[in-house]
Chain A
């Protein structure tokens, strides 16, 4: 019974404590906001990728939160009325990477700052809130044979999902370019581990985590 050293037994006991008390809690956090995404990738006349335009539609819970206190009953919240909240939301986009990862030729494209006029927010007739934003690449980039676009919240507070019917459009793309959606890969053990750690920090499970469960747009250009 006393074969192990006291120090070792204490270590085991402490480990047990951590396991008992905290592992069940590592289970799950989940997104609070759901967004249906439609994106348009814009090309310049010379065939380079120049912009990504997003139209995001929010779920009815966030929609009622966002519209709360903004319009008279029976009226829709207009872009004008939404301007302050839209500005606040747009202003935070840069810091979180615009929720957008555009990878061309293995490099992540950089977007310029979002200015007034590049975005708007409005309540649709079905009472869902829509957010529109134009992101322009700092450097127009030739598409190469293929490139990918990912819309995701790295912290997974927001769940972005591509629209089933009309997820992606290519504007003025060179002829022959086509887009398709790739589903996320299943997570590996290491990712679950990260998620458990996220409990201990009370924060999101590290950068890039939300990306793993996002659908990816693949654009192929011949």
Chain B
């Protein structure tokens, strides 16, 4: 049997690789993307249809946030408008590229079936992202009076840390889930081989009330992982709900915390802009209030996505209904693909960070 061991030492090495790949364009004076705002968000948009409407909404909301910040000078009640529009901005804004929602959703699909936990993770990641922006602008601009270039450089480092974290988590998940997938495949093949060995049942749906030979031997087999719920005679021939134990893929709060940290450590360009603008108006606290509201909005959207990811996985399990070895195989397959997605998202983030965008 092949043993995969994810080397713990790989994480710093990965970060170094990320930095080496991304650093030259990101930090050179010359090749940086013009007029960037730290955080490494790509753009992407359209002017027609629903997408155009959403973009228009966000542009309007940005203007409303700016207008309410202005209005705050004479009218303290404008804070409610500021917070409300900030929240709405977060809801719409989280739907765009970045913001770790894809990472969170994929992580949830790869490792969990508890809906509530997905929402908690999304909330934590969004809060962290807001806090990082507040800390960045608060420390860099408010205390050290840093310039745009210095804040961009700081944001780039955070984006790099985030990308290496996401890639590391993705690789860790890929190895774990790959191993689980292999073992599910072995169980499935053993199961089918056992069935095929009994001619009478070779073409029929698996419904052996009594049996002899290999199938019986299989069902009577030792509880070493080959014979699980599928071998329970009472379950035979029924389409039953997936056994929770088959679906549960070992959620760990440590893995979850790492995911939150990786997905949330990249500050968001929109929040940085609002904060610096508020600071310039002498209203930094109001800017922080707006960013907190934005984080709640982002959490709402990412939470909904995490929810959808877990729900979709459950649905997929139900559709793959059959004997438990097949459900388990489907579950491990879905998880493995989700793990690969996390790696892909991490690499995509790296590319964006590498362009200094």
Nearest CB on A from B315, distance (A): 6
- Bound Cα distance from A191 to B49, whole angstroms: 11
Whole-angstrom CA separation of A29 from B305 in the bound complex: 16
Encode contact with A along B48-78: 1 for CB under 8 Å, 0 otherwise: 1111101100110010001000000000000
Assuming the contacts A29-B43, A31-B59, A204-B43, asked whether A16 and B315 have C-beta atoms less than 8 A apart, the reply is: yes
A100–B31 alpha-carbon span in the complex (Å): 17
Chain B residues with Cβ below 8 Å from A204 are 42-44, 97, 357
Known contacts A12-B319, A69-B141, A198-B42; A184/B47 CB under 8 A = yes
Chain A residues, Cβ within 8 Å of B37: 32-33, 62, 65
Interface size on A, residues (CB 8 A): 75
- Given the known interface contacts A25-B101, A87-B29, A155-B357, the answer about A30 and B58 at a Cβ–Cβ threshold of 8 Å is yes
**A9 vs B315: C-alpha distance when bound (angstroms):** 11
A34 to B58, CA, bound (A): 13
B175 at the interface (CB under 8 A from A): no
Q: Kindly provide the distance from the CB of B327 to the nearest chain A CB, expressed in whole angstroms.
A: 10
Would you call B349 an interface residue if the criterion is a C-beta within 8 Å of the partner chain's C-beta atoms? yes
Q: Which B residues, 141 to 184, have Cβ-Cβ distances below 8 Å to chain A? A: 141, 145-151
Provide the residues of chain A in CB contact with B326, threshold 8 Å.
Answer: 6
A129 CB to closest chain B CB (Å) equals 10
Instruction: Name which of A6, A65, A88, A131 has the most chain B CB atoms within 10 A of its CB.
Output: A65
A146 located at the interface, meaning its Cβ lies under 8 Å from any Cβ of chain B in the complex: no
B109 and A13 contacting across the interface, CB-CB below 8 Å: no
Is B147's CB under 8 angstroms from A202's CB? no
What distance in Å separates the Cβ of B263 from its nearest Cβ neighbour in chain A? 12
- A68-B45 in contact (CB<8A): no
Contact B349 A192 (CB under 8 A): no
CB distance from B237 to the nearest CB of A (A): 12
The distance in angstroms between the C-alpha atoms of A181 and B216, with both chains bound, is 80
Provide the residues of chain A in CB contact with B322, threshold 8 Å: 6
Q: Is B17 an interface residue (CB 8 A)?
A: no
A91 neighbours in B (Cβ, 8 Å): 29-32
Most buried by A among B33, B322, B330: B33
A198 and B97 form a contact (CB under 8 A): yes
A residues 1-37 in Cβ contact with B at 8 Å: 1-2, 6, 9-10, 12-14, 16-17, 19-22, 24-35
CB pair A187 B42 closer than 8 Å: no
Kindly state whether residue B124 has any CB partner on chain A within 8 Å: no
Shortest C-beta distance, A39 to chain B (Å), equals 16
The reply to whether B43 and A10 form a contact with Cβ atoms under 8 Å apart is: no
> Residue A182 at the B interface, CB < 8 A?
no
Q: Are A16 and B44 in contact (CB under 8 A)?
A: no
- Contact present for B42 and A64 (CB under 8 Å): no
**Measured CA separation A31–B102 after assembly (Å):** 20
Chain A at the B interface: SS class: helix
State in angstroms the CA–CA spacing of A156 and B165 once bound together.
27
Q: Is B11 an interface residue (CB 8 A)?
A: no
- B109 contacts A199, CB within 8 Å? no
B257 CB within 8 Å of chain A: no
Residues on B with beta carbons closer than 8 Å to the beta carbon of A158: 35, 43
The answer to whether A202 touches B102 (Cβ under 8 A) is yes
Which chain A residues lie closer than 8 Å to B330 at the CB level? 10, 13
Is A70 engaged at the interface, CB distance under 8 Å to the other chain?
Answer: yes
Given the known inter-chain contacts A16-B312, A20-B312, A68-B276, please indicate yes or no for A31 contacting B43, CB distance below 8 A.
yes
Is A112 on the interface with B (CB-CB < 8 A)? Answer: no
List of A residues within 8 angstroms of B274 by Cβ = 61
Task: Give B347 Cβ to nearest chain A Cβ, in Å.
Answer: 9
The answer for the CA separation of A93 and B205 in the assembled complex, in Å, is 65
The answer to whether A122 has its CB under 8 Å from any CB of chain B is: no
**Highest count of chain A CB atoms <10 Å: which of B34, B42, B55, B93:** B34
Docked CA distance A192–B322 (Å): 38
Cβ contact within 8 Å between B66 and A187: no
Cβ A210 vs Cβ B102 within 8 A: no
**A84 contacts across to B, CB distance below 8 A:** 149
Chain A residue numbers with a CB within 8 Å of B194 are none
Query: Does B334 touch A at the CB level, under 8 Å?
Result: yes
For the complex, is A213 an interface residue (Cβ under 8 Å from B)? yes
Whether B54 contacts A16 by the Cβ 8 Å rule is: no
Contacting pair B45 A17 (CB below 8 A):
no
- Is B115 positioned at the interface, with any CB of A under 8 Å from its CB? no
Asked if residues B308 and A24 are in contact (CB atoms below 8 Å), the reply is yes
Contact sample, A vs B, 9 pairs, CB 8 Å cutoff: A20-B311, A21-B305, A58-B35, A61-B62, A61-B273, A68-B276, A192-B46, A202-B352, A204-B44
Binding site for A on B (CB under 8 A): 29-37, 41-52, 54-55, 58-59, 62, 66, 92-93, 95-98, 101-102, 105-106, 109, 141, 145-151, 205, 239, 269-270, 272-274, 276-277, 279-281, 301, 304-305, 308-309, 311-313, 315-317, 319-320, 322, 326, 330, 333-334, 337, 344-345, 348-349, 351-352, 356-357
